[in-house]
Amino acid sequence: MLDDKIILITGGTGSFGYQFAETVLKRYRPRKLILFSRDEYGQHAMRQHFNEERFPPIRYFIGDVRDRERLYRAFQGVDIVVHAAALKQVPACEYNPLEAVKTNVLGAANVIDAAIDRGVARVIALSSDKAANPVNLYGASKLCADKLFIAANNYAGGGSTLFSVTRYGNVIGSRGSLVPSILNSKAATVPLTDERMTRFWITLEQAVEFVLRRLSAMQGGEIFVAKNPSMRVIDLIKALAPDCSIDRVGIRQGEKLHEVMVTEDDARNTLAFDDHYAIYPLLDRQQIQKKSCQLQGERCPEGFGYRSDTNQAWLSPKDLRGIVSRLQVPWL
């Protein structure tokens, strides 16, 4: 569905944008692939790999999702928008709360308005596992953004623009995450907040594949939740830095012991599929049963919750070493 389409990705110079561009340019024939970001140096660095001569569809567009007028200019003629721009670092968002709101919430509202007014056909936004039952500002801002994107389907008018959300776990090897900090560190000690801590994990390639699959299947209004394996943070440290000592620093402000991607309250409107869950807007029991029959999804039982500590799939230290050894990202 991406052939001969004009596709724009906000935050296009981030970890996801890099992998998304590589996958789309290799697999499809888009008329244009526009990388929209405020990172001038990031665009310069990506241009060394994805230059316009080798990849004629590529376009680089400097702009910020906070800038409503710039988005209106960038969205002119665009068919599909993937919204990946966000402030993501939990400590930074805690220390600069208003900046997180401006980008993650008001920026999302600007994307919605520009998409509807410019006639974009499909918008899929990247969420976070931290948006479910948030305990930090980053998660709260992403939950608010999720609500905005789902509600946007009510304002689009006749389904002319469809909005959906994707939610998945921590991306292995993403820029600024735990894996690069361990591998690039020269220190003999690695900090650990709590030995019991668990997380959902997914590779960049898997994240892009998940978004592409949901982009083709979306009907508007869904929060798609990827089924990811869990891992224990201490297993990751032991796998990547077996000779380092561990400094137990305690849970930091805004940090969870375990992650949740489908809450018990959301489970009432959630269908389970082979590789994902789909959370729908508030529906009564009859409506969700009808959705279940139409889409061949299984209704989640009462009291269900998709949590990293009670997950059925787990990554062992050996699995983690194998995954990290195959990572090919420029910041490792």
The catalytic residue positions are: 130
Question: In this structure, are residues 226 and 307 in contact, taking their beta carbons and an 8 Å threshold?
Answer: no
Please report, as a single letter, which amino acid is at residue 193: T
d(CA 151, CA 137): 21
> How many Cβ atoms are within 10 Å of 2's Cβ, its own excluded?
18
Residue 167 carries which side chain, given as an amino acid letter? R
Burial 71-94 (b: 16+ CB within 10 A, else e): beebbeebbbbbbbbbbbebeebb
CA distance linking residue 88 with residue 90, whole number of Å: 6
CB 79 within 8 A of CB 119: no
